[in-house]
Amino acid sequence: MTVLKSLLDTGSDAFRANAAHYRAKIEALEALRREQRLGGPEKARARHEQKGKLLPRERVERLLDPGSPFLELGELAGLGKYEDVPPGAGIITGIGLVAGRHCMVIANDATVKGGTYFGMTCKKHVRAQRIAWNNRLPVITLVDSGGAFLPDQANIFPDEGQFGSIFHNQVGMSGDGIPQIAVVMGPCTAGGAYIPALCDEVVIVRGQGFMYLGGPELTYAATGERVDNETLGGGKMHCSVSGVTDHLAENDAHALAITREIVAHLGEPGTRRKTPAPPAPPAYPVEQIHGIISRDAKVPTDNREIVARLVDASAFHEFKPLYGDTLMTGWARIHGHEVGILANTGVLFVEAALKATHFIDLCVQRDIPLLFLADVNGFMVGREVEQAGIAKAGAKMITAMSSARVPKFTIITGGSYGAGYLAMLGRPFQPDAMFAWPTGRAAIMGPDQAASVLAQVRAQINEREGRRWTEAEDEAFRAPIRREYETFQDAYNFAANLWVDGILQPAETRDVLALLLDIAARRPKVETRFGVFRF
């Protein structure tokens, strides 16, 4: 393989200014992460511990193997959407090692509104299930929830992708032989009681875990029967009378120890389809990416410099380097795992789209995962490219990208707009995982373009009505449109809405991708059936 040669001047004023700007962005990200990892307010955390419970993150830490990395997913979901709710939407989801096996962990945070489910909580739970299902990961759910947050019922109850989809996914995963374990560590009420009931094995904590379709108050209101929590749905009753649960634990630590033992007896985990090569660090420090990405979003990033700091030994076997050069395609390794990379180096022209189609087909034939590094304003427009068949070429690229059944991942490193966002494996095409860097941006079009288009439409209306705008009126019309698009396109808006699985620092990207590639390599190969290519 060819080693990518860096031409970066790390001593330049521009590099230093960019790096300082990026460091501020990383500090802002870390501040939000600290807020999210703290959980609910101090009083709620204190009440939780007074009951003899471990805090939610302590539960996750004790469940995982000592020293296991934990890839948290959706950590900023719900950011700014609910009053007095920190980022994360009251639930922790992520992938870690339990008894030597990669597992998806889903843990209610009862310090945040009693662990109740908001609309975004449901979406985050469902997303974690889908990732587990795609990768055949056992799912461990640490249940401690007051059920649905009733004022948000429109986003919880009636539709696909909401609370009911959690049960639907559980049934589907069970049918596909994917192990599911529940640990009832607190209340588990109403419809939520079906989450453990649909699992393979259930652990419940004595005197602390309670599981019932209707609590004592509802039971009295409906039947006139007076009954206490323990008799109605306590651990001893369910383990010895109803048989709804299988293992009775004395406390949180005991419950987690039992859970680890269950995982240890799940049988052999899947083996890799391919053996990775010995890993090697990039030839250049990954932190230099901070100085490569311009503090001015209008200045494009040299993605060759980015790739050189992400792949093993900075070695890259480029495909069609002289053709369609606004898209960089080629093969490299990340922590030893082979991957096919598509990285934007400009607007997508006909040639770039055709090159992408050819490259994706080759990766499918060779069973090589795909990584899209998205930084693109879209497809080229204009008479010349339309007559050259840009729509036809773009359709080929989208068909190849959408049809491919190899593992696929997306990192939005810069701007990702319009049909370019879609063609570079946008969220509608169901990437196995999708992340953004703090500089990531995505929208139908950029703020200035959107303001310009809508201003032109307004000007045409004014012309028909026989009136003309002043420059001040034109700018007053454009300014709120730019602000709206700037807010929408921000990586944190995408993370808050779970349109990406999280925001990564550039320096974290290699390790995250290595974990995901290792997991994906252990799942069965799926044959690709391409859609129709228009010629």
| Residue 498: pLDDT band with limits 50, 70, 90 | very high
208-212, 221-225, 298-302, 346-350: least confident range: 221-225
Do 398 and 513 fall within a single domain?
Answer: yes
Do 57 and 182 fall within a single domain?
Answer: yes
Expressed in angstroms, the distance from the first to the final Cα of the chain is 33
Is residue 218 over pLDDT 80? no
The alpha carbon of 175 is separated from its chain's Cα centroid by a whole number of angstroms, namely: 25
Do 293 and 159 fall within a single domain?
Answer: no
pLDDT at 189: 85
Dump pLDDT digits (tens) for 57-101. Answer: 999 999 999 999 999 999 999 999 999 899 999 999 999 999 999
Q: Which pair of tokens denotes residue 481?
A: 């449109």
Count how many domains the chain has. Answer: 3
Identify whether 61 is part of a domain: yes
- C-alpha distances (whole Å) from 122 to each of 119, 152, 157 are 5, 11, 10
Q: What are phi and psi of 277, to 5 degrees?
A: -75, 165
Range 407-434 average pLDDT: 97
Is residue 173 over pLDDT 80? yes
Residue pair 91/36 in contact by the 8 Å Cβ criterion:
no
Identify whether 168 is part of a domain: yes
Do 378 and 504 fall within a single domain?
Answer: yes
Range 509-528 average pLDDT: 96
Identify whether 58 is part of a domain: yes
Provide, rounded to the nearest whole percent, the portion of the chain with pLDDT above 70.
100
Do 58 and 188 fall within a single domain?
Answer: yes
- Go through 72-99 and write b for each residue having 16 or more CB atoms within 10 A of its CB, e for each that does not: bbbbbbbbeebeebbbbbbbbbbbbbbb
Eight-class DSSP state of 292: H
Do 130 and 150 fall within a single domain?
Answer: yes
Identify whether 510 is part of a domain: yes
pLDDT at 220: 77
DSSP string, 295-333: SSTTSPP-HHHHHHTTSGGGEEEESSTTSSTTEEEEEEE
- Identify the CATH number of the domain in which residue 195 sits: 3.90.226.10
Dump pLDDT digits (tens) for 248-298. Answer: 999 999 999 999 999 999 998 888 988 999 999 999 999 999 999 999 988
pLDDT at 469: 85
- State the Cα angle at 227 between 225 and 233, rounded to 5°: 125
Range 295-323 average pLDDT: 95
Eight-class DSSP state of 406: S
Range 113-127 average pLDDT: 96
Q: Classify burial at 35, counting beta carbons within 10 Å of its beta carbon; exposed 0-12, middle 13-18, buried 19 or more.
A: middle
Do 368 and 398 fall within a single domain?
Answer: yes
| Residue 504: pLDDT band with limits 50, 70, 90 | very high
Residues near 117 by beta carbon (within 8 Å), at least 6 away in sequence: 90, 91, 125, 145, 147, 148, 149, 156, 163, 192
Do 511 and 464 fall within a single domain?
Answer: no
DSSP string, 330-345: EEEEETTEEEEEEEES
3-state helix, strand and coil shares in percent for the chain, rounded to the nearest 5 = 45, 20, 35
Do 379 and 513 fall within a single domain?
Answer: yes
Q: Which pair of tokens denotes residue 124?
A: 């985050």
Residue pair 258/314 in contact by the 8 Å Cβ criterion:
no
Q: Are strands 315-318 and 327-334 parallel, antiparallel or unpaired?
A: antiparallel
Identify whether 465 is part of a domain: yes
Look up the domain containing 299 and give its range: 286-440+490-520
Do 462 and 348 fall within a single domain?
Answer: no
Is residue 325 over pLDDT 90? yes
| Residue 462: pLDDT band with limits 50, 70, 90 | confident
Nearest of 392, 434, 431 to residue 412 by alpha carbon: 434
Identify whether 15 is part of a domain: no
Residue pair 512/435 in contact by the 8 Å Cβ criterion:
yes
Residue pair 119/156 in contact by the 8 Å Cβ criterion:
yes
Identify whether 272 is part of a domain: no
The backbone region for 311, taken as left when phi is positive above 0, alpha when psi lies in -120 to 50, beta otherwise, is beta
Provide, rounded to the nearest whole percent, the portion of the chain with pLDDT above 90.
88
Do 453 and 414 fall within a single domain?
Answer: no
DSSP string, 367-388: T--EEEEEEE--B--SHHHHHT
Q: What residue type is assigned to position 423 of the chain?
A: A
The owner of tokens 């310090």 is 111
The last residue of a domain, from among 233, 264, 295: 264
- What whole-number distance in Å separates Cα of residue 341 and Cα of residue 512? 16
Mean pLDDT score of the chain: 95
- Specify the long-range contacts of residues 239-243, CB closer than 8 Å, at least 24 apart: 239/204
Dump pLDDT digits (tens) for 15-67. Answer: 999 999 999 999 999 999 999 999 999 999 999 999 999 999 999 999 999 99
Is residue 338 over pLDDT 90? yes
- Go through 343-353 and write b for each residue having 16 or more CB atoms within 10 A of its CB, e for each that does not: bbbbbbbbbbb
Q: pTM of the full predicted structure?
A: 0.95
H/E stretch holding 221 reads helix 216-223
Is residue 238 over pLDDT 90? yes
HEC string of 132-175 equals HHHHCCCEEEEEEECCECHHHHHHCCCCCCCHHHHHHHHHHHHH
- What whole-number distance in Å separates Cα of residue 456 and Cα of residue 398? 30
Residue pair 410/426 in contact by the 8 Å Cβ criterion:
yes
Identify whether 11 is part of a domain: no
Do 141 and 180 fall within a single domain?
Answer: yes
- What length is written for the chain? 535
pLDDT at 217: 79
